[in-house]
């Protein structure tokens, strides 16, 4: 049990030494082998690797010299499973089971890194660099992710070693609730979950509501497709969220918190459970924390697969045990939220910044970012980009820096077409805005939004009408069905888009589409409904020519919309072997052996079997 | 008071008012669909959107509270266009058989579409495949006309605490239905019909039995008698343009006669009969250690609820049949004998403010003459429909009176239609019986009048304390029963009506659109009619009804006699919630 | 979507019922207990048939329809049994742009069932799922707890064969 700052500091000192091998690269006579235990690397088999690693280490008799640490996400998911060896900081990527014996023997036992298994970018002749030297990491600045990939999230001492639970001690012993709120206000921290509402202001409102019972909620229902920032924080640094919720509880006068986390995140759920249990055992969560009389409890609630529950009122409705349908605001949650009591809700990444702000001061945080968007932002990079993964950059970094430098650009020599931010509520950003500094207001200005931080890159092979349709499909599927505008409006939007991608659209449909988008924006009940048309509006704004091509020329320039494609046999390449004709399931191809075959478009299903079978690349679909 | 500006006009409204309420105060009606005061404030349909200066998007007036200095626009071109689009989207997912729909003319969606000049086919697309549920005896659910306003589910879950229908699935697939899409007849539905009374469209309607009535009347071999419940006369006029709260008793009787019924009688008669039996039963329970509190049994919705959810209270239920059923039983026994007809040759029809009565006529142990006590039960709405389609000019009709001998009712009988009425009528007769001093017997027991959910009173009757309670609406009933069960409350006599406000607010009454219901207690207005009739009646006590007296003299003997039990009493059974 | 009562007969054991009752009594007095109870009930039975929902409704003294309304709102609750091998294909953005739609279609073709369905022998069930966060491996599918990433259409056949 930790009841005093002396006890906390004693734990800190002891475990600081343990983490110094990896944090400060101090050689203390043994090696830390960090294996990513985040969802991405676990999916690519990191758990199995740890098992093999342990066996091999035992076989080599070096158990005493090696400390295996299962960490949270390093960020470079595309290179998973990832393994780092400290104190030197060498970086093995896409580690395979078969490589382990060699790595253990050569590197862990004999101190010679296995160059060919290292991430190529860190190997420069004889020089072996570290993760920090990669272009992926150089421009990053880690605040929310500072412990991810560094500590073992299942060991509370390692969090304590990294100043864990110092912030709540500071708050409880030397600050008033108003001080805390003022610090947050001064820091300029805005909600990282989507809207970007000033966090301090939210807390101020909730503090001002008079009620014996108030609640602190954490939104970990990260539902944007392609976004996994919050998951990584929960997997890699769960205590940071717990501690921040305690601070929020102190600030607004609440003693109960709920974390609403997606059930699709089993690892995050497990780590949270462990973290809550450990914090409770240490007395850092629960009754009378640090003997100050302040008590705070946290309950975990699992989502059950409803995107709309990321909306604050829907999330609360869901915790209450109902269909997760949003409620009209006002009343705002700060006045009447969960169980009709004053409530604050912040997302994981927002909380992940709070302790750092308390410890380092508002000015430190406000020193990063742009005028109206302070601090850093975590993005989940995905889609047509080399370095798929998680990056944290100061607000104001340009999209170009993120995509080209950190993300390593578009693979396969393809051309960048658009970046999608903000998930289904956001929009597509065209090449001309690549140099806009990313912050809340700029993104909204160019027709997208920050959202929770998903950043999907698209290249010339992506059809923007199809992308808009994809997002609308998502929205239709995830609409709660409560309000008319979203329930029927988005469905009709989707149907019009389908019509267009099938080549049946008219120019009037484009007008109707746009009109309906603006209608939904104005009329939907909740934030999700109001932003649902954004993917359509932004693609209409920047890629109208693609819409026109579908509608007027009945052509899909990216070659995605199947209904608009035809299969052709190039006569100059066709040898007349008849294979395609024999493979065609509907007998749509005919010809004479030895001379070029032809496709009967009235029969062709565009299944592509012919293309797959042609040995001469003589069949194209365009 | 909060100062605001609506459409540029400065005004003030009480703190806590919504924009909708504030606008109404200055004479502006903002259209609504999903909003039902106190029951359904969910801001879902988006038809009531208005512009608030400084707000990011349009806001729903039904749930948006006013605040000092707020500037509101309720009817700009942008708003009108938005509302039109909302209606067009709703219509794109709505079976548009408006010409023949039973709600044509009383449909709130239709009225708004007309007002906003919508293009019915502005949007086309997928419509979910919908199955019509006509499994239950009292109503039909047709989701192809449902606009998902959820007024029905709110009434079912909140006012009636049954919750047998609710929203299932989500998004575009969302639909109102029962668990596992069971037919309504297999659910714990109590047939109260409150959902049909609040549905803005034709999605929920009473089961139409008007053709059965017309067929019976047209059959020369059948002798067709009709009774009309007290509350019907307080609402029927609404269908013919009369203000809410108009007594149309005389015209109603004239209309029934013109429809071709052989005899037109009054349920007021059997209400008096019920009082004779029920007050005798109560005194018997009081004096002989019977199960107390005794609870009234006039409301079949309540009876079903008790059987479904509180079977432990079945011994507390009065064994008296409801007035409708007593009437039916008397017609097929006593009156049939009088006529010299076989009970099979009589078709007994009732006009009721209630949909559960359709269910009640099919209950077991309701067949005094070996055939069902009652054959057809229609609602006030169906009567209005019959009158219209038979070409009867209701407003031009003279006032007529009922036939004899089953056409006489006392003032005590007529107030059965309002919550507290049965209690008051029973008290009048019970006090008279106990004190044995007819002249000093009080007539009005105002403590049990009014539309509050729960009314309690204690009377000292000839040295005996009698504690009574009156509740209406099943949410109130549940609360009361739980308090009794836990020992928190104790009474000797309880009146429970299934519908809030009693029969005047029954599920079969003329439908009033939400914009009326939201600003007026229609039950209260209709109840005034009944108390007015009572006051004007020379007969104020059930036991003074000469026809009732004759019935006992000639046929039944004493109240609670063996014969009376055979004909006028029934039994109850605990029911399984799921079939 | 009109859900029918499951055509697969319900085989709940006394042991399962005991566990369910324990879960209910553990959570009953918590605020907002319905969701956790449903989640644990689904863990116990694999799905939430009418028999299970009735027990929950009765024990919690709430209408069955309320339970059903909640169950049908959330994608993770199922009123139908799942296959011994539960296949989920991620149709999140990252996977979608990398061709997971084709993977899904191939599975539909191979298994002869649509999303949300189960093969007649009860062996496989197929679902499309939202982003599971393995975007670095896109396109991705899972079979029970195993994750298969960087898939091609051909991989689908190979992987299915493993389970046959």
Residues of B in contact with C1 (CB under 8 A): 128, 169, 173
Distance (Å) from the alpha carbon of C57 to chain A's nearest alpha carbon? 13
Same domain, yes or no: A468 and A442: no
Same domain, yes or no: A309 and A455: no
Closest CA to A465 of A566, A532, A558, A531: A558
User: Of the residues A551, A583, A602, which one is the last residue of a structural domain?
Assistant: A551
When computed from its CA atoms, the radius of gyration of chain B, rounded to whole angstroms, is 25
B170 contacts C65? CB cut-off 8 A: no
pLDDT digits (tens, 9 = 90+) for B191-233: 999 999 999 999 999 999 999 999 999 999 999 999 999 999 9
B168 contacts C64? CB cut-off 8 A: no
CATH architecture observed for domain C85-163: 3-Layer(aba) Sandwich (3.40)
Q: Is B48 on the interface with A (CB under 8 A)?
A: no
> Residue A40: which of C69, C77, C136 has the nearest Cβ?
C136
Task: Report CA C90 to chain centroid distance, whole Å.
Answer: 14
d(CA B199, CA B217): 31
> Residue B169: which of C5, C58, C72 has the nearest Cβ?
C72
Same domain, yes or no: A346 and A216: yes
Answer with the residue of higher pLDDT: B536 or C147.
B536
Domain annotation covers residue A310? yes
pLDDT digits (tens, 9 = 90+) for A135-187: 888 889 999 999 999 999 999 999 999 999 999 999 999 999 999 999 999 99
Q: pLDDT at residue A386 above 50?
A: yes
pLDDT digits (tens, 9 = 90+) for B336-361: 999 999 999 999 999 999 999 999 99
Residue A47's pLDDT band (boundaries 50, 70, 90)? Answer: confident
Task: Report CA A434 to chain centroid distance, whole Å.
Answer: 20
Looking at residue A245, which CATH number applies to its domain?
3.40.50.11540
Closest CA to B271 of B282, B261, B279: B279
Same domain, yes or no: A410 and A349: no
> Which residues make Cβ contacts (< 8 Å) with residue B74, sequence separation at least 6?
B6, B7, B19, B23, B28, B30, B50, B51, B61
User: Of the residues A366, A390, A421, which one is the last residue of a structural domain?
Assistant: A366
Answer with the residue of higher pLDDT: A18 or A359.
A359
Q: Per the structure, how many domains does chain A have?
A: 5
User: Of the residues A459, A478, A493, which one is the last residue of a structural domain?
Assistant: A459
- Write down the domain spans for chain B: 2-75, 119-204, 211-568
**Residue B225 near residue B331, CB atoms below 8 Å:** yes
Same domain, yes or no: A381 and A428: yes
Same domain, yes or no: A110 and A249: no
Looking at residue A493, which CATH number applies to its domain?
1.20.1440.230
The pLDDT value recorded for residue A394 is 96
**Residue B466 near residue B492, CB atoms below 8 Å:** yes
CATH architecture observed for domain B211-568: 3-Layer(aba) Sandwich (3.40)
Summarize the confidence of residues C29-55 as an average pLDDT.
94
Q: pLDDT at residue C149 above 90?
A: no
The pLDDT value recorded for residue B438 is 66
The pLDDT value recorded for residue C2 is 36
Residues of A in contact with C135 (CB under 8 A): 40, 77, 226, 228, 380, 382, 388
Q: Is B126 on the interface with C (CB under 8 A)?
A: no
Residues of A in contact with C136 (CB under 8 A): 40, 44, 76-80, 382, 388-389
Percentage of chain A lying above the pLDDT 90 cut: 79
Averaged pLDDT score across all residues of chain A:
93
Residue A311's pLDDT band (boundaries 50, 70, 90)? Answer: very high
CATH architecture observed for domain B119-204: 2-Layer Sandwich (3.30)
pLDDT digits (tens, 9 = 90+) for A331-341: 999 999 999 99
Q: Is C153 on the interface with A (CB under 8 A)?
A: no
Q: If interface means Cβ-Cβ distance under 8 Å, which residues of chain A face chain B? A: 306, 323, 327-328, 330-331, 476-485, 487-492, 495, 515-516, 519, 521-525, 530
Same domain, yes or no: A300 and A318: yes
**Residue A114 near residue A102, CB atoms below 8 Å:** yes
Same domain, yes or no: A247 and A343: yes
> Residue B166: which of C2, C65, C79 has the nearest Cβ?
C65
The pLDDT value recorded for residue B437 is 67
- CB contacts under 8 A, A 175-214 vs C, are none
Summarize the confidence of residues A96-104 as an average pLDDT.
93
Chain A adjacent subunits, 3+ CB pairs under 8 A = B, C
The pLDDT value recorded for residue B439 is 67
Give how far Cα A311 sits from Cα of A256, A315, B499, C76, Å.
20, 6, 37, 18
Residue C1's pLDDT band (boundaries 50, 70, 90)? Answer: very low
Report which DSSP code applies to B140. E
Residues of B in contact with A482 (CB under 8 A): 42, 44, 148, 174
Q: Is A321 on the interface with C (CB under 8 A)?
A: yes
C53 contacts B170? CB cut-off 8 A: no
Q: Is C35 on the interface with A (CB under 8 A)?
A: yes
Q: pLDDT at residue C130 above 90?
A: no
> Residue B46: which of A479, A483, A492 has the nearest Cβ?
A483
> Residue C69: which of B162, B168, B577 has the nearest Cβ?
B168
The pLDDT value recorded for residue C133 is 66
A519 contacts B85? CB cut-off 8 A: yes
Nearest chain C residue (CA) to A339: C31
Burial A511-521 (b: 16+ CB within 10 A, else e): ebbbebbebbb
Burial class, A503, CB count within 10 angstroms (exposed 0-12 / middle 13-18 / buried 19+): middle
Tokens of A373: 């968007």
Give how far Cα B350 sits from Cα of B367, B401, B526, C83, Å.
15, 17, 20, 55
**Residue A41 near residue A101, CB atoms below 8 Å:** no
Same domain, yes or no: A322 and A228: yes
Summarize the confidence of residues A49-74 as an average pLDDT.
92
C133 contacts A39? CB cut-off 8 A: yes
d(CA C62, CA A521): 36
| CATH code, B2-75 | 3.10.20.740
Q: pLDDT at residue A134 above 90?
A: no
Same domain, yes or no: A280 and A227: yes
A470 contacts C93? CB cut-off 8 A: yes
Same domain, yes or no: A234 and A323: yes
Q: Which domain holds residue A536?
A: 464-551
Q: pLDDT at residue A248 above 50?
A: yes
Nearest chain C residue (CA) to B164: C65
Q: Which of A323, A329, A477, A491 to substitute to test the interface with B, most B CBs within 10 Å?
A: A491
Q: Is B86 on the interface with A (CB under 8 A)?
A: yes
* Cα three-residue angle B138-B140-B144, rounded to 5 degrees: 165
Q: pLDDT at residue B518 above 60?
A: yes
Same domain, yes or no: A214 and A167: yes
d(CA A495, CA A472): 9
A420 contacts C93? CB cut-off 8 A: yes
Q: Is B576 on the interface with C (CB under 8 A)?
A: no
Averaged pLDDT score across all residues of chain C:
87
**Residue A280 near residue A240, CB atoms below 8 Å:** no
Pick the range with the lowest mean pLDDT from A58-72, A207-221, A478-492, B68-82. A58-72
Q: Is B163 on the interface with C (CB under 8 A)?
A: yes
């Amino acid at each position: 049990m930790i009841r005093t700052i002396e006890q906390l500091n004693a734990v800190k000192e002891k475990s600081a030494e343990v983490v110094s091998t990896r944090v400060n690269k101090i050689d203390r006579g043994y090696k830390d082998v960090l294996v990513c235990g985040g969802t991405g690397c676990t999916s690519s088999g990191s758990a199995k690797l740890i098992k093999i690693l342990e066996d091999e280490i035992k076989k080599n008799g070096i158990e005493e010299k090696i400390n295996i640490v299962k960490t949270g996400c390093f960020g470079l998911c595309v290179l998973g499973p990832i393994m780092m060896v400290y104190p030197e900081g060498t970086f093995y990527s896409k580690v395979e089971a078969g490589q382990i014996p060699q790595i253990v023997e050569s590197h862990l036992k004999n101190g010679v890194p296995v160059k060919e298994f290292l991430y190529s970018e860190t190997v420069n002749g004889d020089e072996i660099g570290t993760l920090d030297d990669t272009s992926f990491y150089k421009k990053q600045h880690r605040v929310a992710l500072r412990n991810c990939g560094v500590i073992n999230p299942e060991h509370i001492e390692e969090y304590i070693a990294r100043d864990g639970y110092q912030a709540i001690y500071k708050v409880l012993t030397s600050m008033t609730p108003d001080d805390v709120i003022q610090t947050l206000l001064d820091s300029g921290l805005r909600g990282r979950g989507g809207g970007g509402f000033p966090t301090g202001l939210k807390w101020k409102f909730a503090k001002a509501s008079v009620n014996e019972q108030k609640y602190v909620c954490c939104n970990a229902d990260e539902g944007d497709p392609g976004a996994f920032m919050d998951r990584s924080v929960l997997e890699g640094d769960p205590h940071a969220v717990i501690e921040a919720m305690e601070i929020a509880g102190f600030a607004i006068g609440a003693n109960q918190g709920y974390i609403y986390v997606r059930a699709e995140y089993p690892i995050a759920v497990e780590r949270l459970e462990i973290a809550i249990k450990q914090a409770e055992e240490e007395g850092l969560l629960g009754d009378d924390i640090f003997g100050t009389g302040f008590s705070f409890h946290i309950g975990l609630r699992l989502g059950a697969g409803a995107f709309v529950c990321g909306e604050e009122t829907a999330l609360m409705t869901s915790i209450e045990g109902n269909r997760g349908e949003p409620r009209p605001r006002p009343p705002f949650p700060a006045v009447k939220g969960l169980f009709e009591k004053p409530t604050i809700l912040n997302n994981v990444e927002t909380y992940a910044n709070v302790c750092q702000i308390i410890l380092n001061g508002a000015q430190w945080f406000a020193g990063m970012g742009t005028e109206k968007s302070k601090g850093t932002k975590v993005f989940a990079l995905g889609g047509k980009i080399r370095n798929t993964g998680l990056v944290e950059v100061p607000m104001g970094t340009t999209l170009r820096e993120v995509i080209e430098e950190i993300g390593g650009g578009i693979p396969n020599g393809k051309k960048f077409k658009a970046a999608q931010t903000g998930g289904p509520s956001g929009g597509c950003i065209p090449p001309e805005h690549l140099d806009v500094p990313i912050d809340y207001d700029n993104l909204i200005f160019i027709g997208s939004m920050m959202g929770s931080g998903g950043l999907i890159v698209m290249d010339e092979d992506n059809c923007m009408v199809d992308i808009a349709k994809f997002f609308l499909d998502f929205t239709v599927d995830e609409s709660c069905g409560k309000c008319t505008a979203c329930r029927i409006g988005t469905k009709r939007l989707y149907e019009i888009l389908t019509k267009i991608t099938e080549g049946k659209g008219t120019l009037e449909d484009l007008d109707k589409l746009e009109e309906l988008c603006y209608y939904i924006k104005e009329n939907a009940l909740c934030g999700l409904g109001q932003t649902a048309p954004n993917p359509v509006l932004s693609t209409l704004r920047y890629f109208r020519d693609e819409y026109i091509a579908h509608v007027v020329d009945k052509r899909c320039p990216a070659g995605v919309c199947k209904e608009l494609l035809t299969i052709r046999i190039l006569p100059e390449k066709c040898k007349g072997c008849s294979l395609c004709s024999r493979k065609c399931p509907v007998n749509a191809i005919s010809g004479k052996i030895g001379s070029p075959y032809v496709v009967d478009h009235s029969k062709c299903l565009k299944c592509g079997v012919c293309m797959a079978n042609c040995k001469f690349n003589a069949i194209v679909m365009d | 008071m909060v100062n605001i500006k609506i459409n540029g006009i400065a005004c003030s409204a009480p703190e806590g008012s919504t924009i909708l309420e504030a606008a109404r105060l200055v004479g502006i009606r903002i259209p609504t669909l999903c909003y039902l005061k106190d029951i359904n404030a969910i801001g879902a349909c988006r038809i009531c959107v208005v512009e608030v200066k400084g707000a990011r998007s349009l806001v729903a007036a039904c749930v948006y509270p006013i605040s000092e200095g707020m500037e509101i626009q309720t009817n700009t071109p942008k708003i009108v266009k938005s509302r039109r689009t909302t209606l067009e989207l709703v219509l794109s997912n709505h079976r548009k058989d408006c010409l023949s729909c039973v709600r044509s003319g009383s449909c709130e969606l239709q009225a708004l579409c007309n007002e906003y000049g919508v293009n019915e086919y502005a949007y086309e697309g997928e419509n979910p495949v919908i199955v019509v549920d006509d499994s239950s005896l009292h109503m039909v659910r047709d989701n192809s006309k449902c606009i998902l306003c959820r007024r029905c589910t709110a009434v079912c879950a909140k006012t009636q605490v049954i919750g047998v229908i609710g929203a299932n699935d989500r998004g575009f697939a969302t639909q109102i239905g029962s668990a596992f899409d069971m037919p309504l007849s297999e659910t714990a539905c109590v047939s109260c019909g409150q959902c049909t009374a609040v549905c803005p469209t034709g999605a929920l309607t009473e089961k139409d039995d008007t053709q059965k009535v017309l067929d019976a009347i047209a059959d020369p071999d059948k002798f067709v008698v009709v009774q009309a419940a007290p509350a019907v006369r307080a609402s029927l006029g609404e269908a013919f343009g009369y203000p809410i709260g108009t007594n149309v008793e005389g015209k109603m009787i004239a209309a029934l006669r013109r429809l071709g019924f052989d005899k037109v009688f009054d349920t007021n008669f059997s209400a008096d009969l019920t009082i004779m039996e029920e007050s005798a039963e109560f005194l018997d329970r009081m004096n002989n250690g019977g199960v107390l509190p005794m609870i009234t049994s006039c409301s079949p919705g309540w009876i079903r609820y008790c059987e479904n959810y509180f079977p432990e209270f079945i011994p507390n239920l009065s064994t008296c049949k409801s007035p409708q059923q007593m009437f039916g039983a008397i017609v097929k026994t006593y009156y049939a004998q009088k006529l010299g007809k076989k009970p099979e040759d009589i078709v007994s029809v009732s006009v009721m403010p209630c949909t559960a009565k359709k269910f009640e006529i099919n209950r077991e142990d309701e067949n005094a003459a070996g055939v069902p006590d009652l054959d057809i039960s229609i609602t006030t709405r169906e009567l209005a429909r019959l009158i219209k389609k038979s070409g009867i000019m209701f407003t031009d009709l003279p006032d007529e009176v009922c036939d004899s001998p089953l056409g006489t009712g006392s003032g005590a009988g007529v107030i059965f239609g309002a919550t507290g009425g049965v209690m008051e009528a029973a008290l009048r007769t019970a006090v008279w019986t106990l004190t044995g001093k007819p002249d000093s017997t009080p007539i009005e027991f105002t403590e049990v009048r009014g539309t509050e959910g729960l009314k309690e009173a204690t009377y000292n009757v000839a040295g005996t304390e009698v504690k009574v309670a009156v509740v209406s609406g099943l949410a109130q009933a549940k609360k009361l029963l739980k308090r009794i069960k836990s020992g928190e409350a104790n009474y000797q006599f309880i009146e429970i009506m299934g519908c809030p406000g009693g029969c005047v607010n029954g599920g079969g009454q003329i439908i009033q659109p939400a914009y009326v219901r939201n600003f007026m207690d229609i039950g209260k207005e209709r109840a005034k009619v009944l108390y007015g009739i009572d006051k004007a009646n020379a007969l104020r006590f059930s036991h003074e009804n000469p026809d009732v007296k004759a019935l006992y003299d000639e046929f039944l003997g004493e109240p609670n006699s063996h014969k009376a039990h055979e004909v006028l009493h029934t039994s109850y059974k605990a029911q399984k919630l799921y079939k | 979507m009109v859900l029918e009562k499951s055509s697969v007969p319900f085989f709940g054991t006394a042991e399962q019922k005991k566990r369910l009752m324990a879960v209910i009594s553990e959570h009953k007095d918590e605020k907002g207990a319905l969701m956790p109870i449903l989640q644990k009930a689904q863990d116990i039975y694999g799905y939430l048939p009418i028999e299970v929902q009735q027990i929950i409704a009765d024990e919690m003294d709430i209408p069955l329809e309320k339970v059903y309304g909640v169950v049908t709102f959330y994608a993770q609750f199922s009123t139908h049994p799942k296959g011994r091998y539960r296949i989920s294909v991620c149709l999140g953005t990252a996977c979608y742009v990398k061709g997971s739609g084709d993977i899904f279609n191939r599975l539909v073709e191979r298994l002869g069932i649509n999303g949300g369905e189960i093969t007649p022998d009860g062996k496989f069930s197929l679902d499309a799922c939202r982003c599971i966060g393995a975007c670095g491996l896109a396109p991705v599918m899972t079979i029970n707890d195993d994750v298969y990433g960087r898939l091609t259409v051909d991989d689908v056949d190979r992987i299915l064969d493993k389970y046959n």
